Amino acid sequence: MANEQQKREVGEEEEQVVNPWEVTAKDGGKIDYDKLIEKFGCQRLDRSLVDRVERLTDRPAHVFLRRGVFFAHRDFNEILDVYERGEKFYLYTGRGPSSEALHLGHLVPFMFTKYLQDAFKVPLVIQLTDDEKCMWKNLSVEESKRLARENAKDIIACGFDITRTFIFSDFNYVGGVFYENMVKVAKCVTFNKVVGIFGFTQEDHIGKISFPPVQAVPSFPSSFPHLFPGKDQLRCLIPCAIDQDPYFRMTRDVAPRIGYQKPALIESSFFPALQGETGKMSASDPNSAIYVTDSSKDIKNKVNRYAFSGGQDSIENHRKYGANLEVDIPVKYLNFFLEDDAELEHIKKEYGAGRMLTGEVKKCLIQVLSELVERHRQARAAVTDEMVDAFMAVRPLPNMFS
């Protein structure tokens, strides 16, 4: 009853749903990220933090950082304090391997994580939650494991440094201290608590209810005794999309109670669907996304046919009023992937003023995406099964803190 009462009181705010399995904006509109920050209780990643990153790493911040794709954080400043003192930390990110081909939205956290790894020279663990997908998508264990390996190839193609990167799938790695930590976390979280955080119901199977600790424990260095022996208090930074925040709210709540450090987070907004910015891309609608397996012809066709345009309905009106950049998907995509700041500014200015037409912007986007996807395709083709085995081998990382 209290819940219904609460719902009535918060009113319309409840209409925006963001959790690991659902991202739905209010009334089919855009996700309100300010409200999300407030609701989740994380902090906005402001310009001064970006400046500090540039100062500490002595290189320009990644496009995703300086253009606000990664827009929220938890204790990222503490990670920078650690780094500034000459100490180290480690990175943790992951993926639920539900589909064979990744789309561009899937690449965002990995591209950003690679930048962080290169800039800070720190070790990285990447979790493939094949167990989660086996349970949520009702895939067989074998199919889930196969998809994990396929996805690992795309992840490796993002250019991670094998001397600093450990990739693991839950089905292959759960056990030992990792499992001990799962039990330690599970002891601290009631069923009522996971109902509150994740929205589980009594009709849900106990596999779902058991899962949150599995995604929680890579936040603790002791889960990787082959990587961080004797470094149980090493800090962890998690780059992820903000829909994963519930897992790590739970993790941060539990961490001090079991003698561990809270993981820090740096969180991104969602990569929009071609049809418009109302949520994440959907793997179930192939025309809502550009896949890393799409040909240049596919990309051209999808961008031209489906990318929602902020341009006006006639050339005359367009010249007169200019494009609405707030809703224009080609511009949003360029904001992610066109690295040249000056060129991007030029396009925004000209397109916004109506001097540039949608077709010209789309042509630029098609070229940027085709190059990106072609580069990825070549990199992925070079990833052998032996390399996957090497990245996933349980081993010390020789180059970890140098």
Single out the residue of 72, 194, 331, 338 in contact with a second copy (rule: CB under 8 A): 194
Type and span of the H or E element at 132 = helix 130-136
What is the rounded CA–CA span in Å between residue 149 and residue 166? Answer: 13
Interface with a second copy includes 360 (CB under 8 A)? no
User: Closest distance between a second copy and the C-beta of residue 216, in Å?
Assistant: 11
Site map for a second copy, 152-171, x if CB under 8 A? ------------------xx
- Cβ pair 151, 102 in contact under 8 A: yes
Take residue 5 and report the two structure tokens written for it: 């009462």
Interface with a second copy includes 63 (CB under 8 A)? no
Nearer to a second copy by Cβ, of 156 and 217: the residue is 217
- Cβ pair 95, 155 in contact under 8 A: yes
User: Closest distance between a second copy and the C-beta of residue 257, in Å?
Assistant: 12
Nearer to a second copy by Cβ, of 29 and 259: the residue is 259
Nearest to 74 by CA among 108, 47, 40, 105: 40
**Which listed range, 12-20, 98-106, 187-195, 344-352, lies at the site for a second copy (CB under 8 A)?**
187-195
Three-state DSSP class for 172?
helix
Contacts of 173 (CB under 8 A, 6+ apart): 394
C-alpha distances out from residue 197 to 94, 191, 253, 280, 290, Å: 20, 10, 12, 20, 32
Nearer to a second copy by Cβ, of 188 and 379: the residue is 188
Nearer to a second copy by Cβ, of 43 and 172: the residue is 172
Nearer to a second copy by Cβ, of 188 and 390: the residue is 188
Residue ranges in 2-140 assigned as alpha helix (H): 2-10, 33-40, 47-57, 63-66, 76-84, 104-120, 130-136
Nearer to a second copy by Cβ, of 140 and 402: the residue is 140
Single out the residue of 190, 284, 314, 402 in contact with a second copy (rule: CB under 8 A): 190
User: Closest distance between a second copy and the C-beta of residue 314, in Å?
Assistant: 55
Interface with a second copy includes 3 (CB under 8 A)? no
91, β-bridge pairs: 124, 237
Interface with a second copy includes 175 (CB under 8 A)? yes
Contacts of 60 (CB under 8 A, 6+ apart): 54, 66
- Cβ pair 332, 269 in contact under 8 A: no
Take residue 202 and report the two structure tokens written for it: 């009594």
Total site size for a second copy, rule CB under 8 A: 38
Site map for a second copy, 83-122, x if CB under 8 A? ----------------------------------------
Interface with a second copy includes 180 (CB under 8 A)? yes
Give 351: exposed, middle or buried? Use CB within 10 Å, 0-12, 13-18, 19+: buried
Nearer to a second copy by Cβ, of 125 and 189: the residue is 189
Nearer to a second copy by Cβ, of 109 and 212: the residue is 212
Single out the residue of 19, 77, 99, 210 in contact with a second copy (rule: CB under 8 A): 210
**Which listed range, 120-128, 178-186, 274-282, 394-402, lies at the site for a second copy (CB under 8 A)?**
178-186
Interface with a second copy includes 220 (CB under 8 A)? no
Beta-carbon neighbour count of residue 30 at 10 Å? 18
Nearer to a second copy by Cβ, of 58 and 203: the residue is 203
DSSP letter assigned to residue 177:
H
Chain centroid offset of residue 266 CA: 9
What is the rounded CA–CA span in Å between residue 231 and residue 122? Answer: 14
Site for a second copy in 129-148 (CB under 8 A): 131, 134-135, 138, 141
User: Closest distance between a second copy and the C-beta of residue 300, in Å?
Assistant: 42
Type and span of the H or E element at 344 = helix 341-352
Binding site for a second copy (CB under 8 A): 131, 134-135, 138, 141, 170-176, 179-180, 183-184, 186-195, 200-207, 209-210, 212-213
